[in-house]
Each structure stands twice: as structure tokens, then as C-alpha cells.
Structure 1
Amino acid sequence: MMASLTGMLPLVLMFVVLYFVMIRPQMKRQKEHRAMIDALAKGDEIVTSGGLLGKVTRLGDGIVGLELASGVEVQLQRSAVTQVLPKGSIK
């Protein structure tokens, strides 16, 4: 009985280390990204996962209207937003 428990101890320790090194930080990043997406507002300047920079013009449930240049507007999914830039970053 004790031999089988001591044999499983390294495996259990590996899972504990894996949780604290990989899984927990990833969950924290996902939570921060979700909060950033929920806090989007009209007029925010953002960067998309494709590298486009623009200003938010419209917000929908899952879609964001993004003005890339004057007169050029695209729609993209909220999940494609990777970063919110400080105001005045885009000239």
C-alpha cells in the first residue's frame, strides 16, 4: 500500500507544478482579456489580432465597428481585439 502511494507521489507533484506554472497564469490572462473586451467603449483606440489599428465607432454584442481611416470602416469580432491603446496614439 505505501509503495504504491510513494510511486504516485512524483506524478502528483508534477501535476501540481504544471497547474501553478502553466494553467493558472493562462487563466489569469484570459480573465484580463475578457475584462478588457467588456470595457471597450466608443472612441477607444485598439489593435486587432491581425495588426490593424483603429478607433472604435460602433459596439454590438459580439461585433466592433473599427474606423481604420476616414471613411474606411470594418467590422470585427470582439475577441479579435488584442490591446487598447492610450488616447491619441493613432494620428
Structure 2
Amino acid sequence: MESRLFISPAFAQGAPAAGGGMDAIIQFVPFILIFVIMWFLIIRPQQRRVKAHQEMIKNVRRGDTVVTSGGIIGKVSKVLEDSADIEVEIADNVKVKVARTMIAEVRSKTEPVKA
């Protein structure tokens, strides 16, 4: 009699649930919601910032005042369209080559060329 009472709860716990497939889907709903929230709070804004930075770099022109990611402020003296580098004048007669991707900010833009 004792062994029958001891074994019975073990069999009852191992019994499969009637809606097993639906339970699995419901367990994934929180993970899907977390991913959607992460997409709108982290991934999407980061993609927008990267796109805006690439647009800013593409539109750098001679005469613009720029700030590099290292904190150097200078005026763009030479821009080569095909090159990944630009020439920045940081003091009188002191010009340095800077990688376009290292431009953190364009402070003052030059006027567009009048036709």
C-alpha cells in the first residue's frame, strides 16, 4: 500500500498536458516582445545616427569647420571626393590629414557655391 502512494504522484507529474503546442508558443511571446522593444529603443535609433553621420561626412566641403573624434578643431582645406582622407588646417600653415570617418561634428558650414 505504501509503494502505491509513493509512485502515484510521480506518474501524475509526468502526464503530458492537453494543449502542449499552444503552451510552447505562449512561452516565446515574452521573448518576442523583448526583441520588439529592443528594436525600437536601441537598434533603430542607432541605425538613424549612423545614417545621419554618413550623410554629414559625405557633405563635408572646403571651408567647413570640423571637430574630429580626438577633439581637434580645424577648417577643411582640401577634400578629395575619391579619397577617404581630408586635409584640415588646425593652425596657420599647419595642415593634417584626417580620415573622414573620424569627423565627429561639422560646426559651421560654408555657403554653397553660387551658380
Bin of the TM-score, shorter chain as denominator length: over 0.9
Q: TM-score, normalised by structure 2?
A: 0.74
Q: Which has the higher strand share?
A: 1
- Counterpart in 1 of 2:52? 32
Structure 2 residue 103 is the aligned partner of structure 1 residue 86:
no
Query: SS of the counterpart of 2:70?
Result: coil
Superposition pairs of residues 1-91 of structure 1, within 5 angstroms: 1-60=21-80, 61-86=83-108
What are the ranges of 5 or more consecutive residues in structure 2 without an aligned counterpart? 1-20, 110-115
Identity of aligned residues (%): 37
User: How many correspondences in the alignment?
Assistant: 88
Q: TM-score, normalised by structure 1?
A: 0.93
Shift of the alpha carbon at 1:86? 2.1
2-side partners of 1:76 and 1:69: how far apart?
14
Larger radius of gyration: 2
What are the ranges of 5 or more consecutive residues in structure 1 without an aligned counterpart? none
- By relative contact order (CA 8 Å, sep 6+), the higher-ranking structure is 1
Off by >2 Å, runs of 4+ in structure 1: none
Query: For each residue in 1:11-70, what CA deviation from the matched residue of structure 2 results, as whole angstroms up to 9, or x when unmatched?
Result: 010001010000000000000000000000000000000000000011122001000011
- Counterpart in 1 of 2:5? none
